[in-house]
Every structure is written in C-alpha cells, then in structure tokens.
C-alpha cells in the first residue's frame, strides 16, 4: 500500500492537482477540512536584516573524494572522468525522474597537485592532481555537470601548503622573496597548539609553524603578497576553471596572534576582505567554511566572511538522536542553530571525511540510518551528503578507511569501482551494500535518500521555509514543522525501541502557522492522520495525529492550505 502510494505521489501530473496547490505535485490520500476566515501572521525565523538566500539554499550537496569515487582508466585511482561517467547516478538532469539521487551540488575534496593521497598538502594551486586527470578532464566534468543542473565547488586550502610546495622550499632555503610567506621563529617558542600538540618544527634556519603537522606548514596571511596570490588563485578557479565556489578548510586557524591560534580578530578581518573580493567577481560565488568548534564561534563567520559554515554540533545531535532512544540532542542543538545563524545559513550533515562514517557510528543499523536521513533532509540549512552515505557505507579510523572506494555493485572484488586493484581495499560488506543491489530494493536506504531529496527539491517549505519545533511531551519523539506560504510539513520520528501511544506524547505549538482550511496527507510513514484541533488562540494544546507511533519510525505529514 505504502509503495503504491509513494509511486502515485511522485508521478502524478501537476495539472491534476490544481485544486490542492499547483506547485506541490502531491495528491492527498487522506484529508480533513476546517474553516477559517483569516491567515495567521507568524514571526519570521531569526535572521540578519537584509540577508537574502542564495542558490545554495535550494541545493543538496554531495561530497566526493575523487580518489575513491570511480576509476575510468583502470589504474585503481578514481578520477574526473569517472565522476563524469556517474553523473546520471547523481542527477540525470530530468527533475521528474526518481531513479537518480537528485543532488544539485558537488563538493570535491582537494583536487590540486599534492604530495599525499588526501590532497590537503598542496604543492601547486594552479594545477589539478595528475592522478585524477587533466585540466581538460576537469573542465569537461564541470560542463557535463552544469548540463544536469549540478554546480561544483572545490576545496581551497588557504591555511597551509605542503612541505614540498616551491614556496616553502624557497622560504626554508632563506629566499628573501618567500621567507615571510610562512611563519618562522629564530628560537623555538614555548607554547603548543590548540589541542596541546607540537606546532613548531625545525627548518634549515629557525623553526616554522604548522598547526596540523610538520608536513603542512602554515602560510603567513599577514603578508600582503600571500593574500594577493590567493586572490589570483581564487580568480583563476572561478573564471578559468568555472567552479561555483569553495569549501574553505580550517578557517578558524587562518591568522595567528602569537599563542592565540584560533578564531582571532585578524582571522575574521582577513576573511571579511576575502569575502568582499570574491563577491566582487560574482555575487553568486558560494563559500562554505569549516570551523570545527562551538556553534557560537562558528556563527561569527557567517554572513560577511563565508556564506555558510558547517554546523558540527547539530550533526552530532542528529546522529545521537538516530541512535536513540532519546532525541533531545537533535532538538536542543537545532534550537540553538535556529537562533545562532541567519535563517538557513549553515551546512547540515551527518558525518564527513574526517569522522567515522555514520553507518558505523549507528552500528550498521539501517533503520537508525533511515531516521538520520530523514532528520538531515527535512532540516533547515544546506544539506551535505558524504559519498556512499546514501547506501550505508561503513568505515572507522584510520582516515583511509573512512575514504574507501565507492561500492557500485556486489559482483566483482572491486565493487565496480575499478577494473584494477583499487588504491584502498573496498569494505568487506560491499556484496550487500552497493548501488546496484539497493537500487532494486524499494525499501533500501538508497531509495529513501532518493525520495527524500526528491521531496526536498520539489517543496520550497523544506528548503527555505520557516521552522517550528513543537513540544512533544516525550524525549523519545522528534518533531519539526517546516512551512511557508504555500504548504507545511510535519515530521515525526520515534527513535525509541517501543511504540508511543496517546498518553505518552502530545504535540503542542504556541501558534499554528497553517490556515484552518487545509488538506492533510501522509507523504511517508503512518497513514490516516487525525487533524489537529486548533484552540481559540490558533495554537495546538494536545495534538495526537496517531493513536500509536511505531518504534524507530518516521512519518512526514503534508498540509496544503
């Protein structure tokens, strides 16, 4: 019944639905109608005055480690042409189809020439990693992606270079032109780094500073020549390589003030000027900043230094809530995010390339992974998926094992990633966890991700709508209401091991933002919801949409005025 309903919901023509809402493309399976005379005025979600959402707020991003996505030439290493071959998996360019994933943005981890497998120790900012292909291969990828409505952003590593970069080689040799491009001290300073780690290392003539490790010396961004060079690099990638923006790595470490090594005043000043520079090239240029710290500190970068920043505490909250049974971590951290950032201007995710994969954190529990997916893709903010997350790829540290090859099929030892020996052995679960197998299973994690992204792509309320977190009367029930002037979605997740019955939960909202005349339907999950009973103040006191909310379940209800 549910599968049939979902198929009808996805494919029914829009024109048939004009009696509901011509923009939604949905047809209710159950409805209740009440009467109302006036639309309720709702206070907007907190935001900065005059801030407008950008194209990124209508985008679901997909993070790709090029080395591990798809090998096109049989050398065991993923490459640009491999990504191009698989673009139709990500987005086939037809918004009406549901067999593709539906993402509309790609974030490529570092693609510059570097000394290591991961690419964060750049040795040439004007080249692409030769193992990944040529400049022409990259430009072809960008061109083919744009044909499908996919924008591409790339990692730009500004904080440091690799130790083999010619700039550092010259600086270490004492070349007066480049000596001040890095941070040097004639004597070893008596302090460690932000995590108590060693940060000063011996060079040929003094000690150089490197916050992450000795192989990645920090650049001196106080030097105008270094800043000017990064302006040139930025212009090159925007105008010559046709990217749409950047993921800026490690922004809280950009400019040190002595032993004060993170979130400094000079870091914020540098980023403000850099923001003004790239926006002068094109206001549509997008940046997402990585500042792995507290929400209050992350938020200080957003709006005039980067467009958005990754919200790490919220990601942790989603994963913890999906693990259950309590969901308070997701609710409390989303509440904090809503009041800390300009409306929707933060990146939401589950885990990334520096963390154990979410499926491993959830102990390979597919049902828990589904709950996490629903929280992620119905949340305000800009969603980012880490490649393979949609099929439930596993992986725990070391880093190489959370960046293993993508699992395309279960029929050959390399999981369809390469015709050769892959650069890193594929995970042992590839025979069951792969795109081919999950594509034909209507109940798979992959097909849930497809449905959720399709839903988000086709409904503005889920992308840029306002947000209310209803009271639930239970720390086992996660509830979020997303709405705009055209529609609303109520998302309910029971992360506990037992069903919730009417005396164990109760939804309450101070002001119900939906006009009292509406249709209500189930998009996903439990069907036949009861209508909310709106009080005289146009709020909800004790709403029980269902007699029972099943254990470890998700339900998405759709309200159309």
Which is it for the CA torsion 438, 439, 444, 445, positive or negative?
positive
Find out whether 184 and 206 touch, Cβ atoms under 8 Å: yes
3-state secondary structure 311-353: CHHHHHHHHHHHHCCCCHHHHHHHHHHHHHCCCCCCEECCCCC
Q: Which of 100, 121, 290, 311 is catalytic?
A: 290
CA distance 65 to 72: 15
CA 357 → CA 258, 351, 453, distances in Å? 36, 6, 20
**Residue 28 φ/ψ region, left for φ over 0, alpha for ψ in the -120 to 50 degree band, beta for the rest:** beta
Q: What are the tokens at 284?
A: 């549509």
Is residue 124 part of the annotated active site? The answer reads no
468: Cα separation from own chain's centroid: 21
Which of 244, 249, 438, 487 is catalytic? The answer is 249
Concerning whether 249 is annotated as a catalytic residue, the answer is yes
Q: Which residues touch 233 (CB under 8 Å, ≥6 apart)?
A: 125, 126, 156
DSSP 507-537: EEESS--S-SS-EEEEEESS-SPPPP-B-TT
Give the rounded distance of the alpha carbon of 170 from its chain centre. 38
Cβ count near 488 (within 10 Å):
26
Burial tier of 466 (Cβ tally within 10 Å: 0-12, 13-18, 19+): buried
Grouping H, G, I as helix, E, B as strand and the rest as coil, residue 74 is: coil
Q: Is 106 helix (H, G, I), strand (E, B) or coil?
A: strand
Rg, the chain, Cα only: 25
Cite the active site residues: 249, 290
């Amino acid at each position: 019944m549910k599968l049939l309903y979902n198929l009808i919901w996805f494919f029914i023509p829009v024109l048939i639905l004009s009696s509901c809402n011509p923009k939604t493309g949905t047809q209710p399976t159950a409805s209740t109608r009440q009467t109302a005379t006036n639309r309720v005025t709702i206070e907007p979600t907190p935001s900065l005055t005059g801030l407008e959402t950008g194209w990124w707020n209508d985008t679901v991003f997909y993070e790709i480690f090029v080395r591990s996505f798809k090998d096109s030439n049989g050398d065991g290493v993923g490459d640009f042409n491999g990504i191009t071959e698989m673009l139709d998996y990500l987005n086939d360019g037809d918004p009406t189809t549901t067999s593709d994933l539906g993402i509309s943005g790609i974030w490529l981890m570092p693609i510059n020439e570097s000394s290591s497998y991961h690419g964060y120790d750049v040795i040439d900012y004007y080249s692409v990693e030769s193992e990944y292909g040529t400049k022409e291969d990259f430009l072809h990828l960008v061109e083919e992606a744009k044909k499908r409505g996919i924008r591409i952003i790339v990692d730009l590593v500004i904080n440091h270079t690799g130790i083999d970069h010619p700039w550092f080689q010259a600086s270490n040799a004492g070349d007066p032109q480049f000596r001040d491009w890095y941070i040097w001290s004639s004597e070893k300073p008596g302090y460690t780094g932000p995590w108590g780690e060693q940060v000063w290392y011996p060079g040929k003539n003094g000690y150089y500073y490197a916050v992450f490790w000795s192989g990645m010396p920090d650049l001196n961004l106080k030097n105008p020549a270094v800043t000017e060079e990064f302006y040139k690099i930025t212009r090159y990638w925007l105008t010559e390589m046709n990217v749409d923006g950047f993921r800026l790595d490690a922004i809280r470490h950009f400019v040190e003030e002595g032993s004060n090594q993170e979130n400094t005043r000079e870091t914020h000043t540098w980023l403000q000027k850099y923001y003004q520079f790239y926006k002068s090239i094109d206001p549509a240029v997008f940046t997402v900043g990585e500042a792995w710290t507290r929400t209050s500190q992350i938020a200080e970068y957003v709006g005039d230094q980067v467009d958005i920043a990754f919200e790490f505490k919220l990601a942790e909250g989603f994963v913890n809530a999906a693990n259950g049974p309590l969901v308070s971590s997701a609710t409390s951290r989303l509440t904090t995010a809503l009041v800390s950032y300009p409306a929707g201007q933060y990146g939401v995710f589950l885990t990334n390339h520096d963390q154990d994969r979410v499926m491993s954190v959830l102990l390979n529990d597919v049902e828990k992974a589904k709950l996490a997916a629903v929280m992620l893709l119905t949340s305000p903010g800009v969603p980012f998926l880490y490649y393979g997350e949609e099929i439930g790829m596993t992986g725990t540290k070391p880093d190489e094992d959370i960046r293993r090859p993508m699992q395309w099929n279960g029929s050959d030892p390399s999981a369809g990633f390469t015709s050769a020996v892959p650069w890193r052995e594929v995970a042992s679960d590839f025979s069951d966890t792969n795109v081919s197998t999950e594509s034909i299973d209507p109940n798979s994690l992959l097909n849930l991700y497809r449905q959720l992204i399709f839903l988000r792509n086709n409904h503005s309320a889920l992308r840029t709508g306002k947000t209310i977190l209803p009271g639930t009367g239970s720390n086992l029930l996660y509830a979020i209401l997303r709405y705009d002037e055209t529609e609303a979605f109520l998302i309910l997740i029971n992360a506990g091991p037992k069903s919730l019955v009417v005396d164990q939960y109760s939804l309450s909202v101070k002001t119900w933002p939906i006009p009292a005349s509406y249709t209500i339907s189930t998009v996903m999950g439990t069907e036949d919801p009861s209508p909310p009973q709106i009080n005289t103040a146009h709020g909800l006191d004790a709403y029980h949409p269902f007699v029972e909310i099943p254990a470890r379940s998700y339900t998405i209800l759709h309200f159309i005025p």
